[in-house]
Copies of this chain bind each other. A is one copy, B any other.
Amino acid sequence: MSFSPLIRQLIDALRGLPGVGPKTAQRMALNLLERDREAGRHLAHALESAMEGVGYCRRCRTLSETEICDMCDDPRRDDGLLCVLQSPADVWAVEMAGSFRGRYFVLKGHLSPIDGLGPEEIGIPALLERVEGSAVAEVILATNPTVEGEATAHYIAGLLKPLGIKVSRIAHGVPLGGELEFIDGGTLAHALAGRTAIG
């Protein structure tokens, strides 16, 4: 069986999406071509705009199309409280939970010496810079409740404590071994409220 080149190329490109296998990619391609070309054109445009236009917030390092993101820019949020997470997806998850009104700082994942990911690589010096001389009074470490996330949290706690900053860890209402972005909003809100002092 040979699809024509443009259809083959479309199916292959759709397989670049996470969780999309060959059968699903075929169904997607067919659906767009047969039933909704407008949706296909719209998606092409949205992809192009986002791939070009979305960068990272200079302040919190989450995905943002402005130099300073809306969350960093919002004057109603609490400057004294800084939530540290492993990825923009985790920021989205905490925002969905809806109860947190402080600021964010996004690391590039967790410490993983075996993969060559030390403090520098995941952005810990930038976090210290963000905190020092700022209004931040408490840092909530909301790295994933995995072995690596715990280790990363403890490493950061060890650096922040000497600076006289209160450091807390989200409560283990979040299931051990889980990934923050897949946890429901209620559990996350609960875990944030029940955070405990660390170190």
A residues touching B (Cβ–Cβ < 8 Å)? 1-7, 9-10, 12-14, 16-19, 24, 26-34, 36-37, 39-51, 53-54, 63-66, 69-70, 87-89, 92, 95-96, 98, 181
Chain B nearest CB from A191 CB (Å) reads 17
The CA of A194 and the CA of B181, in the complex, are separated in Å by 51
Find out whether the CB atom of B31 lies under 8 angstroms from the CB atom of A69.
no
Known contacts being A49-B9, A54-B33, A88-B34, is A70 close to B4, with CB within 8 Å? yes
The CA of A46 and the CA of B189, in the complex, are separated in Å by 41
Known contacts being A4-B69, A42-B13, A65-B4, is A47 close to B19, with CB within 8 Å? no
A13-B45, A32-B47 known; 6 new pairs, CB 8 Å cut-off, are A3-B92, A6-B46, A17-B39, A18-B31, A26-B92, A33-B88
Find out whether the CB atom of B32 lies under 8 angstroms from the CB atom of A70.
no
Residue of A17, A33, A92 with most chain B CB atoms under a 10 A cut-off: A17
Query: How many copies of this chain does one complex carry?
Result: 2
The CA of A95 and the CA of B40, in the complex, are separated in Å by 25
The CA of A13 and the CA of B45, in the complex, are separated in Å by 9
The CA of A160 and the CA of B69, in the complex, are separated in Å by 66
Q: Which of B1, B6, B51 contacts A92 (CB 8 A)?
A: B1
Residues of B within 8 A of A43 (CB): 13-14, 16-17, 44, 47
Find out whether the CB atom of A1 lies under 8 angstroms from the CB atom of B50.
no
Known contacts being A41-B48, A43-B13, A43-B47, is A18 close to B27, with CB within 8 Å? yes
Find out whether the CB atom of B24 lies under 8 angstroms from the CB atom of A39.
no
Find out whether the CB atom of B95 lies under 8 angstroms from the CB atom of A1.
yes
Find out whether the CB atom of A51 lies under 8 angstroms from the CB atom of B37.
yes
Known contacts being A69-B4, A89-B27, is A13 close to B47, with CB within 8 Å? yes
